[in-house]
Amino acid sequence: MDYDYLIKLLCVGDSGVGKTSFLYKYTDGVFHTQFISTVGIDFREKTVIYQQNARQHRIHLQLWDTAGQERFRSLTTAFYRDAMGFLLLFDLTNEASFLEVRNWIEQLKTHSLSDDPDIVLCGHKCDLQEKRLVNQNRAREFAKNYNLLYLETSAKTGQNIDRAIEILLDKIMYRMETSVEYAMLCASGRRRQSLQRLQAKQDRKLCSC
């Protein structure tokens, strides 16, 4: 398959918050109530076209689906290092999963390559309004404190599923772009420096003459 970039995203969150459903909805556009619990790790793929500064990139997304249970933590954390962005899900109908978000952020910061990884926080299952236990403002406040983007999503209705990934992709692409530019800047800066040094040398030469 042809693509310009391969981007690996990781989906984390407590057991049963809907990570698998989220990813299936995104890649296949279907919602099933009959998913099995993810044992260990799994992944889904999708190729998207990403528009950036009037240029089109074909991006191959590798979406890693992790097991939520604590017991698999040692296994799943090994995958954090390779991921470029994270989808952190919690269940709006399950308060404990929201309280765990803090821990998840800690985990991500410790195990991911960057100290400040790109994370999108998703309050999942927002179609179940009557069962909802986590207030929108509360979640928003929390996200603000941690400087995260917050979205309310639902795999059943498909609400914000695509958007969450797009936002994450934006962040990653921005980071890539800036780091590439920075690298180029550094490279060009070094060249300038060396030129200066050369000139200085020459100046000295001239002087010594």
Q: Interface with another protein by CB under 8 A: which residues?
A: 15-16, 24, 28, 30, 32-40, 67, 69, 71-72
CA torsion angle for 121, 126, 132, 134 (degrees, to 10)? 20
Of residues 44 and 112, the one with the C-beta less far from another protein: 44
Q: How far is the CB of 168 from another protein (least distance, A)?
A: 23
> Rounded to the nearest 10 degrees, what angle do helices 101-111 and 73-80 cross at?
50
Give the pair of three-digit tokens for residue 122: 């998703």
Q: How far apart are CA 190 and CA 206, in angstroms?
A: 24
CA distance 118 to 48: 19
Q: How far is the CB of 111 from another protein (least distance, A)?
A: 20
Q: Give DSSP secondary structure letters for 34-78.
A: -PPPPPSEEEEEEEEEEEETTEEEEEEEEEEEE--SGGGHHHHHH
Residue with Cβ nearer another protein (30 or 113) = 30
How does DSSP classify residue 129?
A: G
We find the least distance from the C-beta atom of residue 128 to another protein, in angstroms, to be 15
Measured from the CB atom, the residue of 67 and 172 that comes closer to another protein is 67
Q: Which is nearer to another protein, 120 or 134 (CB)?
A: 134
Of 43, 123, 39, whose CA–CA distance to 83 is shortest?
43
Dihedral of alpha carbons 128, 132, 134, 137, sign: positive
Closer residue to another protein in complex, CB, 75/183: 75
Q: How far is the CB of 172 from another protein (least distance, A)?
A: 26
CB of 166 to another protein, least distance (A): 23
Nearer to another protein, 99 or 183 (CB): 99
Q: How far is the CB of 39 from another protein (least distance, A)?
A: 4
